[in-house]
Amino acid sequence: MFHGVMTALVTPFRKGQIDEEAFRAHIERQIEGGVDALVPAGTTGEAATLTYDEHKRVIRICVEQAAGRVPVIAGTGSNNTAESIELTAAARELGADAALLISPYYVKPTQEGIYLHYKAVAEAVHLPLILYNVPGRTASNMEPETVGRLSHIGNIVGIKDATANMEQLTKTMLAAEERLEFYSGDDATVVPFMAAGGGGVISVVSNIVPQAMAELCEAMRLGRIAEARRMQQRMQRLNTLMFVQSNPIPVKAACAMLGWCADELRLPLTSLPAAECARLAAAMREFGLAPQTAG
C-alpha cells in the first residue's frame, strides 16, 4: 500500500507554539524532494508533548498541505488504548490515509496485551494501520508470533520495524506470510532491510536530505544494489549523528542550522550541545548541505 521513503516529520515550534508557516514550508520541501509519504505527529514530531488539540492540528495541517499529492500516515500511538483509538478516529476524520501506532510504552504490556491493544484500535477505527516496533522507546519487543497474529486483521497493513535486527525481521516476515508490508525504522540499515524484502523506510534523516533517501530507496526498488550501497555509505555519518542524542534533538538542530525552523523543543527534550552541533554541521557540509550556524 505504501512504499519508498516516508518522512517522520519534525514539528516546528516558535515561542512555545506550533510554527504553522515553517511546518507547511517543510512539508513542501519534502514533497519537492520526492518523498513517497509523510508521517506527522510521531516520535520525531514530538507527539508525546503535544496536547490533544495540537496533535490534531499537526495532522490537519499536513493533510491540507499535502493536498493528496502524497499519502499522510498520521502518528496516533499512545500507551493508553482508549486514547490511541480517539486519536486514530480523529486522524481518519481529518483525512489521513493511514495511521502509525506505537506499541504501548512505559507500561510494559505482555505480548497478549500488545496484541489486544492493536486489535482494539483496528476494530474501532476503519483506517489502514501500521504497527510500530521500537523496543528502545517502549521497553517491550513485539515478537514475530504476535505480529503474525495481528497480520490476520484486515486493516493492519504494515509494520515499522526499528529493531535493526535482521534475524528478527526475517522471522517476522515469515510469521506474517506476506500479509504485511515492512518498513525500516532505522535509517542506517535501509539497504539490508530492503534487500530482505522491506518496502521502504519511515525516515528521520530525510527531513534534511529527502531527495537522497528517495533516490536510495528507488535504487533498491530497481535492484541497483551497488548504487544504493554507495548512497547508504555516503549517508552513514549523517545517520549516526541523527541519533547522537534522543530523536528529534539532532534533526531539529539540523533543520534549524538550515534556517528552516527554530531550534526549539519541548521539555524534557533539550537542544543539542554546541560540540555536537559542530560535528553535525561538519557532516552536513561534507554531504553538500549548507548549515547557516554552528561549527
Q: Which of 56, 115, 118, 160 is catalytic?
A: 160
User: pTM of the entire structure?
Assistant: 0.96
Is residue 174, in this structure, part of any structural domain at all?
yes
Is residue 40, in this structure, part of any structural domain at all?
yes
- List own/partner pairs for 140-145 with CB under 8 A and 24 or more apart: 140/103, 140/104, 140/105, 140/108, 140/109, 140/114, 142/103, 142/111, 142/114, 143/111, 144/168, 144/171, 144/172, 144/174, 144/175, 145/111, 145/175
Is residue 263, in this structure, part of any structural domain at all?
no
Mean pLDDT by 10 residues, the chain (295 residues): 95 97 98 98 96 97 98 95 97 98 92 98 98 91 97 98 94 97 96 97 98 98 96 96 96 97 97 96 96 65
**Is there a catalytic annotation at residue 171?**
no
Q: Which of 56, 115, 118, 132 is catalytic?
A: 132
Is residue 171, in this structure, part of any structural domain at all?
yes
Is residue 284, in this structure, part of any structural domain at all?
no
Q: Which pLDDT score is estimated for 276?
A: 96
Owning domain of residue 79: 4-222
Is residue 113, in this structure, part of any structural domain at all?
yes
Q: Is 141 exposed, middle or buried (0-12, 13-18, 19+ CB in 10 A)?
A: middle
The domain tally of the chain equals 1
**Is there a catalytic annotation at residue 108?**
no
Is residue 188, in this structure, part of any structural domain at all?
yes
Is residue 275, in this structure, part of any structural domain at all?
no
**CATH number assigned to the domain comprising residue 105:** 3.20.20.70
